[in-house]
Structure formats: C-alpha cells, structure tokens
A and B are shown apart, each in its own frame.
Chain A
C-alpha cells in the first residue's frame, strides 16, 4: 500500500487511528501489528510468510544470544550471531540478487543457472537491516533481547517505516514500543509532517518525474546539452522530494502514534562536500553501514590503505543495497572514490575554497543521480555532436523554470523560520495553509496516474 493512495488516506489510516486511540493501552501494540501486517500483505500476501519467518528467527536468535552471554558462552553467542547473519543475508541475496547473478553468469555461460523470475519482496532491504542491527546490538550487549514476541514483531513490521525506511534501530524505539505517551502536540506536529511529506511527493516529486521522463524519452534530434541538464536537475529534485517526502510521512505517522523515529534527511543539497552530503542524505542507511560494517572492518584506525579498502567495500555494498544492477555498483563506487579523494587529495582545497567546492559538490551529485537512474551521460557533456541548446531546450526552460525554482526553494531551509513564526503568532492561519496543501494534494491525486515511491524498489 502506498501512503499517497486513496485507500490509505481515506480508509486504512483513519481506521488505524480510530482503533488505536480507542483501544486500551495494552492492545495498542496488537492493533498496530495487525494493521502493519495488513499493510504489508496488501501488495503481495505471500511474502508476509517470509517476513514472519524473519521476525520469528531473529526473535529466537536474540533470546539465544542473550542466554549464551548470561551463561558466559561467548563462542555460542557468536555462532548464533553468525548463523543469524547468514540466514538474513541469504534470504535477501536470493530474492534480490539471484536474478542479477543469473543474468551475469548466463551471459557468459548460457543457461548455466535457472532463472526463476521471482518478484522482489517489497521492503526486504529495510526490514532485513533492522533485524540485523537488532541481533548485532543484542550480541554487543547494547540492548537487552526483546522477550515479548508482539513487541519484536512490531519493531520489524511497523507500517510507517516498513517499506522505505528510515531504518530504525531497535535501541532507538525499544523504550517507545514498551511505553509511549500520546499527546495532542505530537499528533498535531505528526499531522503537519505527514501533510508536508505528502505535498513533497504529490506536488513536487511527481511533477519533476514527468519532466525527467519526458526528457529521457526525447530522440537524439531533440537532445541538447542544456536539455539534458534540465533533466538531471529534475531527477535530482524528484528523488529528493520522493524519498524525503516518504520519510516525512513515516516520521509524521510515527509521531501521531507516539513514536519518534530518527531524521533521515537534513537539507542534503546544501552539503559543503560529498562527506557532508552523506551525513545529510538517507542518514539511517549511511549510519547503519558506518556502525555495522565500516567500523568493524577497522574504519580509519588501521592506516590509509586499509581505510581506502574499507571505504570501497562499504560504498560498493551501499550501491548494491540500492539495487541488483551494475549501474548501482558503479554509483556506489563513484561515491567511494569521491570520498577517498576528499579525504586524501582535496582536503586542503576544500578548506581554502569552500564555496567553489560546494558548487562542485552539487555538480558531482547531479552526475551521480544520472548514474543512479541509468541515464545516458553523454548528452550531459555534449558527446555525439549534440547542440548546446535548441528549440526543445527553450520549450523545457519556459515550461519548467517555475517548478525548478520552487523545487530549489523547497530544498532549502528558508521557509522554516516563517513556518515557526506563523504557527506561533497565527495558528489558525497555519492550520488553514496545511489544510489547503492537503486539499491540493487530494485534487492532484485524482488527476495523477499511479506513482509509486522510487525507494520502494530497493
């Protein structure tokens, strides 16, 4: 189910809220769990079995590890952790990466591996990473194992962040799963966040998606360098508003239900460098890789060569996490190489010319999105004797300039102080504006065709 669908907005979510708030304290988790499972099963009921299997196995593993540690059997605890990691990684590898393996191996040795053509279980990358972080944290004794099956199942399957994150760590929500307070303030701020996220998706991301798709569909006679850059800019805005919109909605729904999920975005296009960009973009994923892979590999503690190796491993896997395709691997390695260059080559340049490097960072990010979208890079740099600009460019410039300006404006935190001021001085006006935004989204949804979130496919 998609947050920006009528079935969610007018049926599913209102029903969840009514039953959740009407229910007793001890029934709230059960209600949330039941609706989370319905939410997941909406698209592909059969994969709920896989998720329940994952929940049960990771739940039991947590208990086993805790018991092993309590009786000082550290080797057994470690073995259980390794087996759990293998189980989780095998599940994700088979469903997500097997088709990629088949296409590559069979490309060299025809028909060597059978192609099962199974569909990808939605959200598998997100809930597997949550489960892994739980068993690792129990092993590291950062958190006690969860003894209540319903509470653990709720942690893995909670519908606001189940399908496209943020990747919530167990330690961040354990307390709230057990005991949370519901307040009018949280409900109001959650609703506000949800409407803002919905507007980002419906009004901005989908509009930029249309521009990008149209430019991608142009034949070579209509291509021009500037047109290609308008397309790149549109995709950069689309992916940001799409994904940060989803995160806003997830955080908003969580807050309405009494949970406080971590922030996933912090104005990434304001980044001063690529390192800074990844501290602002998909924060929950980059911090996951840092804590559970980069640091255990040795991080930057074992010399420059090992650090370079670690960065390349982490970023190749970050790319692979996004999708089973070569363009994602190249995209990940592209960032790995840029981060290595920033750390070992450009460090003094960044300090001396921060403004120039900020512009260069934006340029590098735009190129990375074209790799991510598997788009043709040659048009961006004018390869193949294409014009600098042509009639089509003027058409796109005229028709998209306003929405591009709105997109650029909405990427920056300019509006925040005004929003706070309006909420404080004229709350009625703030509510009216938000209601207007919500109505605008609903009207737009009526006229739009199906637009899934880009991150659903990961």
Chain B
C-alpha cells in the first residue's frame, strides 16, 4: 500500500465518516430482538381490558396490508363496536416497508376519525393520543388513553430484548 500523507489523511476521514454514521445509527436504534406476540400481549394488558387479539384477516381488511409481508405481527382491536382502542406491533423485513406502513397507519387514523367525527367525542379524544413509533425493524401503533406509557414500555422491551 503506497499513498501520500495527504491521501492517507483523506482516507482516515472517509472511514471516520462511515464509522461515525454507523455509530449514530447504533446509538439511535439500539434494539434487542423481541418476540412480537409476547410483547404485543404484554403491552395490550396496559390498555385496561378494552382490546382483544384479532385475526390477521381483520388486520388486512382494516389496514390494506398483507400480514404475510411482515416478519411478525400482533394486532389487538377494540372489544366493542364503539371502541376505538387498537394496538399493532409489527416486525418489518426491511426498511422499504416503513413508508407504506406509515401511509397505512395514517390512513387508518383518518378512517377512525371519519367514523366518529361529529358524535364520538370520547373516541376522538383517545384517537388524538395515538402514537406511531418506529425503532429498528419494529413498529408500534397504539390508540389508547395510555399510549405514552405503552410507548415507554415498548422501548424498554426493545432495550432489554423482552426480558423486563
């Protein structure tokens, strides 16, 4: 290997930039692998008794997404017709699914909003508290009064790899 000193400094900078970028990503996205079904169940218990696990077909109908396209998925929906609470935990196969997932979640919020607009004041209040969180290959979507608390639990689960 033979390069000038200037050239060597340039390459040190190039590699430093790459490692720095990787470091920022690692720092931001430190997540352990979690079991989506178990974590989903755990998080759903924080929504006090108003959700139940739903069939993937219902997920497909409501979100216009194929459950089979994702690595893993847990979907909880409201127990009554007038309920608005939902919890969706998804493990994506790669980053390309993020944009479409975001679009589908936004459209789901719009649909629920239109369903209750004009009369469901309580439901719209809960909907306003909804949270969408992307971390690594995981996505959490939750509509509940306890959304913030559930988001925190979700991040804890990711850090501990579902051990907490």
A164 to chain B, nearest CB (A): 10
**Known contacts A118-B26, A449-B65, A450-B69: A76-B137 contact under CB 8 Å:** no
Contact call B25/A46, Cβ cutoff below 8 A? yes
- Is A457 among interface residues, defined by CB-CB distance under 8 A? yes
A1-B99 Cα distance, complex, nearest whole Å: 7
A60-B7 Cα distance, complex, nearest whole Å: 11
Residue count of chain B within 8 Å CB distance of chain A: 40
- Is B4 among interface residues, defined by CB-CB distance under 8 A? yes
Contact call A117/B95, Cβ cutoff below 8 A? no
**A213: which B residues are within 8 A, CB to CB?**
66, 68
A376 to chain B, nearest CB (A): 16
Contact call B1/A118, Cβ cutoff below 8 A? no
Contact call B95/A44, Cβ cutoff below 8 A? yes
Contact call A457/B33, Cβ cutoff below 8 A? no
State which of A86-94, A175-183, A246-254, A419-427 sits at the interface with chain B: A86-94
**B11: which A residues are within 8 A, CB to CB?**
83
A64-B4 Cα distance, complex, nearest whole Å: 11
User: Which residues of A in the span 57-94 have a Cβ within 8 Å of any Cβ on B?
Assistant: 57, 60, 64, 73, 75-76, 79-80, 82-83, 87, 90-91, 94
Number of A-B contacts (CB under 8 A): 105
Option from A57, A90, A91, A457 in Cβ contact (under 8 Å) with B93: A457
**A120: which B residues are within 8 A, CB to CB?**
94-95
**B48: which A residues are within 8 A, CB to CB?**
none
User: Which residues of A in the span 329-344 have a Cβ within 8 Å of any Cβ on B?
Assistant: none
- Is A9 among interface residues, defined by CB-CB distance under 8 A? no
Contact call B33/A53, Cβ cutoff below 8 A? no
Contact call B25/A457, Cβ cutoff below 8 A? no
Give chain B's interface residues, CB within 8 Å of chain A: 1-4, 7, 10-11, 14-15, 17-18, 21-22, 25-26, 29-33, 60, 64-66, 68-69, 92-100, 103-104, 136-138
Contact call B2/A79, Cβ cutoff below 8 A? yes
- Is A452 among interface residues, defined by CB-CB distance under 8 A? yes
B91 to chain A, nearest CB (A): 10
**A57: which B residues are within 8 A, CB to CB?**
14, 17
**B104: which A residues are within 8 A, CB to CB?**
450
A122 to chain B, nearest CB (A): 5
Contact call A79/B96, Cβ cutoff below 8 A? no
A118-B60 Cα distance, complex, nearest whole Å: 26
Smallest Cβ-Cβ distance to B68: which chain A residue: A213
Contact call A53/B21, Cβ cutoff below 8 A? yes
Question: Can you list the 5 inter-chain pairs with the closest CB atoms, starting with the nearest?
Answer: A119-B95, A117-B136, A43-B99, A75-B2, A44-B95
Contact call B136/A79, Cβ cutoff below 8 A? no
